[in-house]
Structure formats: structure tokens, C-alpha cells
């Protein structure tokens, strides 16, 4: 088994110093990604398993791309088509993967805490790619990096006003991105109907998007996470979109130098009726691009040894 025992499971667990190290490392990875051949052998011989037991496009593909750009081998594991569908337990599955001497397991799971549980069953480094409503630390890192790059602030987000809008209570992105933004000095406000806000989180709350939209530096729209709704928490009949959706009219009230962000996938017509690609404020494509560099940084931080070399 691999001896790697460091993990990336939540922003709060890794703390500010390592967040700063990862953001700095991301800049190096971004530089590699700009090269004609964006590949280095830094993780040659390492094996990264993408264990995705919940759907994903961006996170799964960017981890796969990140591992390959660093020269690692990748193994893809999804629930359908595996022996999980024959009733094999998650523990037996993880112990089976561990027996194949994988160095890292990137895990997405609908249950809160799955990455911590899995870490007790194997010696691989565990990276949380989203556990239920709880945490999505690499999304938070790519959000912080995107804000830093687009505003020219780097890792110092002090004083920036960030509004996170929508389905906060069901959102691991809201939790993790709030943690990292606050850690880096930003002022975060959660905006939405009271049924979708989380009173346990230590942030400002607001139920009137129009009141603040012209003031914020970053407008971060969230997806309505219908798969995690236990009850009818949302006003019906387009009322949610009327009050909290980014309509063309509302978008015209954003500052010209503000940023529009969304973790994806977007529910067009619900949280957004404007086409974000028509807005110069949109940083949504940057979020996806920087996501690869962030995940390269995370993998290198956990599995790399020494300096990176050129591909030979």
C-alpha cells in the first residue's frame, strides 16, 4: 500500500497556510497548462482513482485531466457497472481498490463524511470531490483562485464583497467557498429565501437580492439542488426566479467590474434566465479552466516528491 496519509477533505481541515500553498502551486500548474504540450512527469508511476458515486462532469473530468497532465495513471470507478450494483459494500469496494496499491482516491459520494470513512479503510490519500451537502474543497479553491486572478488580488481577498445566492442549505459549494473566501478576508453574504439559508453559518444573510446586487464584487449564483430537497422549500410558479434569479434586467444592475460566478451545472430558466456568455462579468468559463490547475496542485501537493521536471 501507498504510505501517503495526507488528505484534502475540507477547507477547514487543511487551514489557511495550506490553502495559500495550494493557491501558489496552482499558479505554477496554470503556467504548465499554457504550454504547447501541457504535461510534466511529476507524478509518473502514481495511480489516481476517481471514485465517483454521484454524477459529475467538471470535477470528474478535471481530476482525470489533472492527473494525466502530471503523468499519473488514472482509474475510473462509477457505481453503475461495478460490483456495488451487485450489493458489494463501500468498505469492500475501497479495500479492493486499496489492494491494487492506488496512491490517491478522489471520492464523490452523496453521504456527508464519506471521505473520512474511506480514509479509515485504506492507506491512499483521500480527496473530497463532494460529500452530500457538506464540502467541496477543490471547488472552493478554484473559486478563490478565479476571484484572485480576475480581480488581480491574488490570494488576498480582503474587503471583497461576495454574495452567494440561492440554495445555500443544500450546497456543499456554498459551505466550502464561504470558508475559503472568509479565510482569505472576503465579506460573504448569503442571499435567498429564509427556507434556503442556513442559520448555523456565521455570515451575513439577506433576502433581497435587488438590495445588494449593485454593490457586490462577486455575484455567485448557486444551482437549485432538486436532488437534495427533502420538502417544498422554494416558492412555486417562477416566484423563486422572479425574486432570486439572474434575469437580464437584474444583470444590468451589476457593477461593470463585478464578477458573475456559478459552480455549474446551471439550471437555465431557474437561477439564471440571462445567458451568462453574453455578460463580460462572467467568470464561469475561467472557473472550469482554473479547476484543472487547482486539481493538479492538489494532486502534486499530496503525491509529488521534489521539484517538477520537464517531460522527457
The minimum distance between CB 195 and ligand CP, in angstroms, equals 23
Of 131 and 217, CB closest to ligand CP:
131
The minimum distance between CB 57 and ligand CP, in angstroms, equals 4
The minimum distance between CB 297 and ligand CP, in angstroms, equals 17
Of 57 and 89, CB closest to ligand CP:
57
Q: Please, are residues 54 and 130 in contact by the beta-carbon 8 Å criterion?
A: yes
The minimum distance between CB 263 and ligand CP, in angstroms, equals 4
Whole-angstrom distance, CA of residue 46 vs CA of residue 262: 32
Of 42 and 52, CB closest to ligand CP:
52
Of 176 and 241, CB closest to ligand CP:
176
Strand order in the sheet with 161-165: 204-206, 187-191, 161-165, 218-221, 259-261
Q: Please, are residues 44 and 303 in contact by the beta-carbon 8 Å criterion?
A: no
Of 119 and 261, CB closest to ligand CP:
261
Q: Are strands 104-109 and 161-165 parallel, antiparallel or unpaired?
A: unpaired
Of 27 and 225, CB closest to ligand CP:
225
Of 225 and 273, CB closest to ligand CP:
225
The minimum distance between CB 49 and ligand CP, in angstroms, equals 16
CA dihedral 270, 275, 277, 279 (to 10 degrees): -100
Residue 58, classed as helix, strand or coil, is helix
Report the interface residues with ligand CP, using CB under 6 A.
56-59, 130, 139, 263-265
The minimum distance between CB 208 and ligand CP, in angstroms, equals 27
The minimum distance between CB 159 and ligand CP, in angstroms, equals 26
Amino acid at each position: 500500500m501507498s504510505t501517503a496519509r495526507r488528505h484534502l477533505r475540507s477547507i477547514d481541515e487543511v487551514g489557511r497556510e495550506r490553502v495559500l500553498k495550494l493557491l501558489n502551486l496552482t499558479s505554477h500548474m496554470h503556467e504548465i497548462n499554457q504550454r504547447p504540450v501541457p504535461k510534466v512527469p511529476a507524478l509518473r508511476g502514481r495511480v489516481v482513482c476517481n471514485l465517483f458515486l454521484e454524477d459529475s462532469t467538471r470535477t470528474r473530468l478535471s481530476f482525470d485531466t489533472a492527473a494525466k497532465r502530471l503523468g499519473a495513471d488514472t482509474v475510473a470507478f462509477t457505481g453503475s457497472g461495478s460490483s456495488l450494483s451487485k450489493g458489494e459494500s463501500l468498505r469492500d469496494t475501497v479495500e479492493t481498490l486499496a489492494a491494487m496499491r492506488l496512491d490517491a482516491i478522489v471520492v464523490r459520494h452523496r453521504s456527508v463524511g464519506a471521505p473520512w470513512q474511506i480514509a479509515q479503510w485504506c492507506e491512499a490519500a483521500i480527496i473530497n470531490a463532494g460529500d452530500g451537502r457538506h464540502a467541496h474543497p477543490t471547488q472552493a479553491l478554484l473559486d478563490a483562485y478565479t476571484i484572485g486572478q480576475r480581480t488581480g488580488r491574488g490570494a488576498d481577498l480582503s474587503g471583497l464583497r461576495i454574495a452567494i445566492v440561492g440554495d445555500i442549505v443544500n450546497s456543499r459549494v456554498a459551505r466550502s467557498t464561504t470558508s475559503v473566501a472568509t479565510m482569505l478576508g472576503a465579506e460573504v453574504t448569503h442571499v435567498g429565501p429564509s427556507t434556503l439559508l442556513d442559520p448555523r453559518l456565521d455570515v451575513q444573510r439577506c433576502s433581497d437580492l435587488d438590495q445588494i446586487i449593485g454593490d457586490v464584487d462577486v455575484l455567485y449564483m448557486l444551482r437549485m439542488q432538486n436532488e437534495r430537497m427533502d420538502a417544498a422549500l422554494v416558492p412555486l410558479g417562477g416566484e423563486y426566479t422572479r425574486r432570486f434569479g439572474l434575469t437580464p434586467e437584474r444583470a444590468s444592475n451589476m457593477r461593470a467590474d463585478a464578477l458573475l460566478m456559478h459552480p455549474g451545472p446551471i439550471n437555465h430558466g431557474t437561477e439564471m434566465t440571462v445567458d451568462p456568455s453574453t455578460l463580460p462579468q462572467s467568470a464561469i468559463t475561467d472557473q472550469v479552466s482554473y479547476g484543472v490547475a487547482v486539481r493538479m496542485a492538489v494532486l502534486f501537493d499530496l503525491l509529488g516528491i521534489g521539484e517538477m521536471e520537464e517531460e522527457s
